[in-house]
Amino acid sequence: MFMIMDKPIMNIVQDKYEQRSQRPATLARKTELAARLIDLADAAIDAAGVQELRARALAEAAGCSVGAIYSVFPDLDELILTVNGRTLDRIDAALAAAVLGCTTPMQQMERLASAYLNYAVDHRGHWSALFQHRMIGERPLPGWYATRLDLAFRHIEGPLQVLRPDLDEASRVQLARTVFSAVHGVVELGLSGKALSGTPETIGDQVQILVSAIAHGLAWKNRELK
Amino acid sequence: MFMIMDKPIMNIVQDKYEQRSQRPATLARKTELAARLIDLADAAIDAAGVQELRARALAEAAGCSVGAIYSVFPDLDELILTVNGRTLDRIDAALAAAVLGCTTPMQQMERLASAYLNYAVDHRGHWSALFQHRMIGERPLPGWYATRLDLAFRHIEGPLQVLRPDLDEASRVQLARTVFSAVHGVVELGLSGKALSGTPETIGDQVQILVSAIAHGLAWKNRELK
């Protein structure tokens, strides 16, 4: 599933070489190498975090030269971003599963926040790579990545539509990202011990208190508007 | 004011040398050097961020050898933490000024959040050093630093005491850190463009929507408990 959702690997290879002509056999070999490097980088980030990712170690694991990596990816940034795209898909799937069969907006928001915290706790390397990664030279995020972010955020828009039906779509989309950022702040400063110190259980309790307050505050605002 | 609040420089120098005896003239010279290095590191972090801080450049600016830095600080981590302590004092002062003469808890929370965002926007280097800095070998934060964090958080406890008078002190302290983390999440992901993209004004609007929802949600909870 994740492979299907990846930025098509053929495109990565073609993007890099769009100006040159390549023999089909070369293209097939490079496509296979790109897929292998993505899997290896994915596993390495999961195990040790993105800051430990090294081209030399990747090349060794893939059985290719360091130069060969740069024959299929313009730089490690592009490779990391592809792995981060998979992480967004996994979070998307976890959020979708969390609200299955859940109909009240309060409970949906609580479950979404809880699923997000659980993902961060269980997959620290993948999760933190989403935020530690910076594009070289502050390039804007590519469109395929932005689309995945939108997909992950749409889960939060569901309960917000019930709590604040008065909001237009643009405001609701913005509010979903704001609520996400707030929950993320508690998860991040909790897990890093920078503001909240404690176990995932303590952080989980605080996330629930926060989300409950936000949801009730939004519902109050809606009642006041009527 | 900040110099008075610093971990006394004499102590830093004495901590490092507590096992050895030093001549008073040597101690005075080292104390003066430590103060100079703190000022220089403070200015460098403000200008270019903590990740650009280099011992060699600091030594050059201070007119001393690189080795001399390590004769007054065990490592750059300790120096950065001292600068971060000053940053906490500045944020503490900005938060105190923001709620001067403001009596309603809703408005106090809105002004605190706004002052925090403004500090982050105006002093990006100092602000981000608080969160980018990691203690070498995950040493626990020293007591003098933890005390400053407590002092900065106490501003949020004021309005929370009015909104949720039912909470005991430990829960209120925890809630203050949770509300801070939520606001911080919106500020951080907003300024880094990772979830919210936009100007400080847009981020400011979202922070206000969040804080208003949290404050009203907490007030609702309090009414429900009665």
Calculate what percentage of chain A has a pLDDT beyond 90: 66
- Cα distance between residue B226 and residue B223, in whole Å: 5
Contacts of A178 in chain B (CB under 8 A): 186, 196, 206, 209-210
Same domain as A70, residue A83: no
Contact indicator for A175, B209 with CB cutoff of 8 Å? yes
Same domain as A23, residue A114: no
pTM: 0.88
Same domain as A218, residue A125: yes
User: Pick from B23, B40, B74: which residue ends a domain?
Assistant: B74
Per-chain mean pLDDT for chain A = 88
Tokens (6 digits) for B185: 């999440």
Whether residues B214 and A210 touch (CB distance < 8 A) is answered with yes
User: Pick from A74, A93, A117: which residue ends a domain?
Assistant: A74
* Structure letter (DSSP) for residue B136: G
Please count the structural domains in chain A: 2
Q: What is the mean pLDDT of residues A148-166?
A: 93
Q: With an 8 Å Cβ cutoff, is A211 touching chain B? A: no
- Tokens 């000022």 label which residue? B39
Same domain as B82, residue B68: no
Contacts of B130 in chain A (CB under 8 A): 194
For the residues of A30-81, what is the DSSP string, one character each?
A: HHHHHHHHHHHHHHHHHHH-GGG--HHHHHHHHTS-HHHHHHHSSSHHHHHH
Residue A111 sits in which domain range?
78-225
Q: With an 8 Å Cβ cutoff, is B186 touching chain A? A: yes
User: Pick from A74, A92, A109: which residue ends a domain?
Assistant: A74
Residue in B147, B208, B157, B151 with CA at minimum distance from that of residue B178 = B157
- Cα distance between residue A69 and residue A75, in whole Å: 8
Buried b (16+ CB within 10 A) or exposed e, A191-215: beebbbeeebeebbebbbbbbbbbb
Same domain as A107, residue A48: no
Q: With an 8 Å Cβ cutoff, is A206 touching chain B? A: yes
- Give A16-51 pLDDT, tens digit per residue: 655 556 677 788 888 999 999 999 999 999 999 998
CA distance A61 to chain B (A): 28
- Give A50-90 pLDDT, tens digit per residue: 989 999 999 999 999 999 999 999 999 999 999 999 999 99
Same domain as A103, residue A187: yes
- Cα distance between residue A5 and residue A9, in whole Å: 10
Position A91 scores a pLDDT of 96
Tokens (6 digits) for B218: 């907490």
Whole-number CA gyration radius for chain B: 20
- Cα distance between residue A206 and residue A196, in whole Å: 9
Same domain as B181, residue B106: yes
Whether residues B185 and A186 touch (CB distance < 8 A) is answered with yes
Is the confidence at residue A10, as pLDDT, over 60? no
Residue in A184, A82, A76, A87 with CA at minimum distance from that of residue A126 = A87
Whole-number CA gyration radius for chain A: 20
- Give B59-82 pLDDT, tens digit per residue: 999 999 999 999 999 999 999 999
- Tokens 């893939």 label which residue? A62
Contact indicator for B203, B191 with CB cutoff of 8 Å? yes
Contact indicator for B84, B144 with CB cutoff of 8 Å? no
- Cα distance between residue B146 and residue B132, in whole Å: 17
Tokens (6 digits) for B136: 């070498």
> Angle, nearest 10°, between helix axes A55-62 and A24-48?
120
Contact indicator for A130, A184 with CB cutoff of 8 Å? no
Query: What count of other Cβ atoms lies within 10 Å of the Cβ of residue A17?
Result: 15
Same domain as B57, residue B21: yes
- Cα distance between residue B220 and residue B94, in whole Å: 29
Residue in A174, A177, A210 with CA at minimum distance from that of residue A195 = A210
Position A32 scores a pLDDT of 93
* Structure letter (DSSP) for residue A11: H
The CA angle B80-B94-A184, to the nearest 5 degrees, is 70
Position A226 scores a pLDDT of 74
Same domain as B105, residue B208: yes
- Cα distance between residue A158 and residue A161, in whole Å: 5
Same domain as A197, residue A112: yes
Same domain as B194, residue B104: yes
Q: What is the mean pLDDT of residues B22-42?
A: 89
Contacts of B175 in chain A (CB under 8 A): 206, 209
Contact indicator for A167, A174 with CB cutoff of 8 Å? no
Give the number of C-alpha atoms closer than 13 A to the C-alpha of residue A51, restricted to the C-beta side: 4
Least confident of A211-220, B21-30, B103-112, B185-194: B21-30
Banded pLDDT at B18 (limits 50, 70, 90): low
Whether residues B189 and A189 touch (CB distance < 8 A) is answered with no
First CA to last CA distance, chain A? 44
Residue A91 CB partners (closer than 8 Å, separation 6+): A116, A119, A127, A152
Least confident of A131-145, B37-51, B153-167: A131-145
Contact indicator for B113, B190 with CB cutoff of 8 Å? no
Residue B6 CB partners (closer than 8 Å, separation 6+): B38, B82, B85, B86
Residue in B48, B119, B38 with CA at minimum distance from that of residue B84 = B38
ipTM of the complex: 0.87
Report the sign of the C-alpha dihedral through residues B74, B76, B77, B78, in that order.
positive
Q: CATH number of the domain that B89 lies in?
A: 1.10.357.10
Q: With an 8 Å Cβ cutoff, is A178 touching chain B? A: yes
Position A9 scores a pLDDT of 62
> Angle, nearest 10°, between helix axes B24-48 and B124-132?
110
Whether residues B185 and A190 touch (CB distance < 8 A) is answered with no
Same domain as A146, residue A170: yes
Amino acid in the structure at residue A178? T
